[in-house]
Structure 1
Amino acid sequence: MSPREAPDDRLQQAMKRVLLATLPGLLALFWFYGWGVLINLILAASTALLIEAGVARLRRQPLQPTLSDGSALVSATLLAAAMPPYCPWWLTVTAVASGLLFGKHLYGGIGKNPFNPAMLGFALAMLLFPQPMTHWPAHGMSLQAAFAQVLNLGQAPDAWVQATALDSLRINKSLTMDELFAANPAFGRFGGRGVEWINLAFLAGGLFLLQRRVIAWQAPVGMLTSLFVVSLLCWNGAGSDSHGSPLFHLLSGATLLGAFFIITEPVSGAKSSLARLLFGVGVGLLTYLIRTWGGYPDGVAFAVLLMNLCVPALERFAAARQTQVQS
């Protein structure tokens, strides 16, 4: 399916399969963090549909094709999965609205966006509101407490928010890796507590997309391989100056969500096989660099946006290589 053709049955079927593939990861998020995940999803989906309807009305376009193609719901779902559960309602709304308006409709709508809309919305929210974007809960809440927290109607419990495993590792100066895993509740067995299982759940959904040929293998393999290799080369064992093992980086943050659901977006990502592979390699390398030496604990969103800028160059390089091989 060409990413620039008009919305049709093939596009709708692909979007439905992507939404279906997110279910294992969303259920894992709900299991570990509770009602805040569902509230994020409802807010994100409602905002996305309102934005799509509003833009269609301004452009005097029919509503039904715009709302039924599923692309806005996919972007909203992926963004909601990346947002901290129980973050203020306006933060989710702002992230989704800015992602769709500045990452999609500013360039003419579906099939024309040079940036991934979900990651653009996430990055803008991170840059503008860094404090609430880094407040990840240690556990879930009751439904009533969840609404009170999202609507800012009550005080959050003490010690309810904690630094993520990636953030704790980034600012660590004295503890060994063994001490971090033993003493810090944000760490699980291999990666972030709970996050390692969430990543594996998104891996299951990604494998489903590969099996159904909704996505190609080159970008995910390129990203995961480069992230594994660079983290292995820079790994300093269990010392206090360690940047984390390869398994830690694969099972922490939004690694597998990014590998199978974000960088495989057909419009803003690369199109040819070699370019897709190089695109994934670049995202993996940049993710590690941002996590280790950058100012943000998880660099997937910024890595994707930076590599979106490189797509034309990657496509030219891939075309030149193909011409050389054929000659």
Structure 2
Amino acid sequence: MSRPEPMDERLRQAMQRVLLATLPGALALLWFQGWGILLNLALAGLTAMAIEAAVLRLRRRSLAPELFDGSALVSATLLALALPAYGPWWLTVTAVACALLFGKHLWGGVGSNPFNPAMLGYALALVAFPAHMSQWPAPHAVGLLEGLQHVFGTPPAPDAWAGATALDSLRLNRSLTIDELFAHNPAFGHFGGRGAEWVNLAFLAGGLFLLQQRVFSWHAPVGMLASLFLISLIGWNGSGSDSHGSPLFHLLAGATMLGAFFIVTEPVSGAKAPLARLLFGVGVGLLTYTIRTWGGYPDGVAFAVLLMNLGVPALERLAAARQRRQPA
């Protein structure tokens, strides 16, 4: 009879699978947004490891195995993939530092955080630096040398390469029909945002790999995607100028698939019981659509996740009460 693996080893293996699953999405982002994605990943990874080592030293704890369990690197990777590709270097460093210090170590380290660290870092950067967080590059618009200037130098005005995303264009639209937006607005692709639809499909492929590997259960991703699909179907009124977009548009725009398979499945800040996980995902989907449609930010995944993190204790109590009511 085989001996069960230690918890640290199981965590490390799970984090390795998550990093592997981000590869299709990262490659799709690299293709559409350019080298800035690699710069983000490198800066975020180095910052995460430096902060982890410094905090462990301050707490007088040995670097192994916590420094190498992969949890900090996963949070940094997800945050780097969510940030604008050519933001200044300090934006990535600050966001990762906030994610790990305020989203993880402030609560005692891995396994104790009530909020998703990556989404907390993203939300803090969005609130503190809204101008830099709105400069999303158009597909294939920035070369390597120009990208390095934007990240490490004093960049020129981004009007030539940055523009509104499809979600932002739809939220601010007052006169054009959906068909006209897709036909004439360069931010729109075939079904969702230009480039974003393929990036979302790539993250979907990575998420399905994680499901097949049983890194997490289906409850939270299905809950989020199903509720986002249903509420966008209810709010969709065809191609009118007041339309909020089709269900397929919302599934293939913004950070939908990254959120569904890599964010709401975070095991510590998310729910534990199957019913609570399902309801957690449903809540994230509903809040994401609400923020996208009527809120002040074009994509609401980060805020939706953080709000639902606050509701996890209530969801767990609801799931436990339902379990007690079931006949033995």
TM-score (norm 1): 0.97
Alignment partner, residue 315 of structure 1: 316
User: What is the letter of the counterpart of residue 36 of structure 1?
Assistant: G
Tell me the number of residue pairs that the alignment of Structure 1 and Structure 2 aligns: 323
Please tell me the residue identity of whatever aligns with 1:299: G
Q: Which residue of 2 aligns with 1:19?
A: 19
In terms of mean alpha carbon deviation, does 79-88 or 138-147 score higher? 138-147
Counterpart secondary structure, 1:63? coil
Corresponding position of 1:47:
47
Report SS of the residue matched to 1:326. coil
Deviations 1:109-166 (CA, angstroms, capped at 9, x unpaired): 0000000000000000001111110110013422221111101334256421000000
Map of 2:91 onto structure 1: 91
Partner of 2:282: 281
Q: Structure 2: how far apart are the matches of 1:162 and 1:126?
A: 17
Name the Cα RMSD after superposition: 1.2
Residue of structure 2 in register with 1:238 after alignment? 239
Q: Work out the CA distance in 2 between the residues paired with 1:272 and 1:158.
A: 47
Contact 1:85–1:136 under 8 Å retained in 2: yes
Who is 1:147 aligned against? 148
1:158 and 1:231 map into 2 onto residues whose CA distance is 31
Cα deviations across residues 46-68 of structure 1 (Å, max 9, x unaligned)? 11001100100000011121211
2:77 and 2:120 map into 1 onto residues whose CA distance is: 14
Q: Which residue of 2 is the match for residue 102 of structure 1?
A: 102
For residues 233-273 of structure 1, what are the alpha-carbon distances to aligned partners after superposition, in whole Å with 9 as ceiling and x for unaligned?
A: 01010000000000000000000000000000000000000
| Residues 53 and 66 in structure 1, CA contact (< 8 A), matched pair in contact too | no
Please name the residue that 1:218 is paired with. 219
| 1:161 partner amino acid | A
**2:36 partner letter:** G
Matched with 1:67 is 67
Where does residue 200 of structure 2 map in the other structure?
199
Q: Structure 1 residue 79 and structure 2 residue 76: aligned?
A: no
TM-score (norm 2): 0.97
Any idea what the Cα deviations from partners look like across 1:170-206, whole Å, max 9, x if unmatched? 0000000011111110000000000000000000000
Contact 1:7/1:65 (8 A) holds in 2: no
1:130 alignment partner, SS class: coil
| Paired AA for residue 264 in structure 1 | T
Percent of aligned pairs with the same amino acid: 74
Q: Partner residue of 1:299?
A: 300
**1:7 Cα shift?**
5.4
Aligned partner letter, 2:21: A
Q: Give matches, 1:171-186, under 5 Å.
A: 171-186=172-187
SS in 2 for 1:192: coil
SS of the equivalent of 1:8 reads: helix
Contiguous gaps of at least 5 residues in structure 2: none
- 8 Å contact kept, 2:231–2:289: yes
Indicate the residue corresponding to 1:169 in structure 2.
170
User: 2:6, 2:88 → 1: CA distance?
Assistant: 36
* Rounded Cα–Cα distance in structure 1 between residues aligned with 2:229 and 2:159: 37
Q: Hey, what does 1:136 align to over in structure 2?
A: 136
Paired with 1:162 and 1:326, the residues of 2 have a C-alpha distance of 57
Tell me which amino acid in the other structure corresponds to 2:306: L
Letter paired with 2:22: T
> Residue 295 of structure 1 aligns to a residue in which SS?
coil
Matches of 1:224 and 1:154 in 2, distance apart?
A: 38
